[in-house]
Structure 1
């Protein structure tokens, strides 16, 4: 589980169950309880806003590099706050108040609002209750907080102070250039060959630090051509890349928001342009897919039913090209693995 999370550079957790499926797709077996244990007991995984300011399950051991990356977002956050009438001095007051409140234990957005607005004034309310994270996103980028255990009495996310949650001193971000270079090195190991535009999109960082990271790793990079465009891989991976060959007819099943579908700016690498909107949908929604030799062959959705008292996944499969009966059987086996061993059936038989 931790190896999968680290290789992916985090499992995207805008939908928490999707993150679990992303990890399960890359492990021999993984129970929901194992992920919960890693998040809430051993705390070897942390849920927080990561690259592209989206929620991820990240290995705790990787937080130094991640925070170096995230701190590059500070000017963007402050520009947003300023446009909406929140000056930097009030941002600082809010973050300090949030950190002090979280020292007492987990708090939801509404908890923080109820506690802090009477102290600070009504101006603080929208920035504490903001559905996109408000000032909490910057506090997270600065290493002050992360998501804690779910609250049993409601559906609100609960936040905890990151250092206290991990039982250690504050996480020290890596030097900015060093941290981003490390992140790029690991990105290319998982998703290369790739272009600087690909990395910038995946990491969600400004163009300047992106260019600098490629310059800092120049001695480790192998220049290649990717669909007629210059791209880069790690030089240490050259032999493995030259030998790599996808088995004929290879099928993989990936869940919602899978990082593989978010790793490159040019989505033509994974799906034909005419089918792109079936995968990359409105509001940033990324469909669950079936890959045939690395390219999208179908999308799928599921709903969980109870049949004779037993949980069942009923799956709607939407092929983008013909799937044979043999391929559909393989896909069904992959779906059973993703389900965690539940019975899986296609809708309509």
Structure 2
């Protein structure tokens, strides 16, 4: 089976709930369909959901995260923060977070050892026990409050000693991040509004067991359902797993092989893919203003089929983090940013005709009105983002 870049762009609007007829009812539906929402930048969660639900509201995201707890913010793929459905947390944890936590613990122990022999694994275990006891007593606390309660968390380590970029950091942030990666605590409501990246923590319920091999297989199956077809490099990049683990999971799934411009790709099912390509939904015109680190912007390693390679240096930073982007029918056609006065500034990098420009202008006006009382700062601004806000 063969699929063209144009066909893949047509699928994206349907698969990613961006075409008007495919919008979701709840933010939980969005997080499940997209296999999580990037959450390193807290504002991205709300804005990614806004682009995909029929009646968008930050209140709906807050309800899911902090009241109903049907969504959870956690480190998983590529050591990145995502917001994921709570019922899928064991899949993300056992497929990915456990291994990340082991590496994080080893790095922290190495930094602690450099400060003296007393800073060993026993010392770290005692600090973690004290932090968990304090959280149990307080119910919920921010990092500053918890560090004040636990003296061990006030200790410091020196990062990159002797280097021009040497830093001194408190142990508290490391310990809380590690406990969260291990599933022993979880992030709660932010200390500020929905654009804040500082969170309260609470003790997490016990993590349900799951075989890591089964977890990896299920996570890859979910990715293929929304993002496939993709190459082996796409899968390895997105999951952050070694090649061997990706190949093992693919072997358990038995996907269909698809010929793409980038080479051989994998789809969950040839029949399902053919049926989706044959629907009229894929041809419905749509425009979207997506936030930095949106799943559509960051879903694949090979991106030439939806963004002109000549434009990538303007739209992604040097580490590959995508900034806020303007989309038309499955293609990144420009960038946008919110200026200090609230204005949504945008620029098209390609001309796709009057219909596209009018649709983007309408989306920008709607977003500006929706953000009327909110100001956001993109944590990973791309070069064009900086230019638009200058």
Q: TM-score range by the shorter chain?
A: 0.7 to 0.9
Greater shift after overlay, 242-251 or 276-285? 242-251
Question: Residue deviations 1:272-299, cap 9 Å, x none?
Answer: 2211111211455421112233221111
Q: What is aligned with 1:30?
A: 56
TM-score norm. by structure 2 comes to 0.75
Q: Is residue 196 of structure 1 aligned with residue 232 of structure 2?
A: yes
Q: What is aligned with 2:275?
A: 240
1:39 CA displacement: 1.5
Q: Would you say the 8 A contact 1:196–1:214 is kept in 2?
A: no
Task: Give aligned pairs, total.
Answer: 327
Q: What is aligned with 1:330?
A: 359
Q: Is residue 61 of structure 1 aligned with residue 87 of structure 2?
A: yes
Q: Is residue 259 of structure 1 aligned with residue 288 of structure 2?
A: no
Distance in 1 (CA, whole Å) between partners of 2:313 and 2:76 is 25
Q: What is aligned with 1:20?
A: 46
Q: What is aligned with 1:98?
A: 131
Decide which of 238, 254, 257 is 1:223's aligned counterpart: 257
1:118 CA displacement: 5.0
Question: Residue deviations 1:19-59, cap 9 Å, x none?
Answer: 11101111111111111111121111222223222222221
Q: What is aligned with 2:68?
A: 42
Q: Is residue 317 of structure 1 aligned with residue 346 of structure 2?
A: yes
Greater shift after overlay, 188-197 or 291-300? 291-300
Distance in 1 (CA, whole Å) between partners of 2:224 and 2:39 is 22
Q: What is aligned with 1:161?
A: 203
1:119 CA displacement: 8.5
Question: Residue deviations 1:122-163, cap 9 Å, x none?
Answer: 679945344xxx232331222111211123699842111122
Decide which of 206, 215, 231 is 1:179's aligned counterpart: 215
Q: What is aligned with 2:164?
A: none
TM-score norm. by structure 1 comes to 0.83
Distance in 1 (CA, whole Å) between partners of 2:177 and 2:232 is 26
Q: What is aligned with 1:6?
A: 32
SS of 2:325's equivalent? strand
Distance in 2 (CA, whole Å) between partners of 1:24 and 1:152 is 20
What root-mean-square deviation, in Å, do the aligned CA atoms of Structure 1 and Structure 2 show?
3.0
Q: What is aligned with 2:147?
A: 113
Q: 1:146 to 1:33 in 2, by over 3 A?
A: same
Distance in 1 (CA, whole Å) between partners of 2:145 and 2:264 is 50
1:260 CA displacement: 1.2
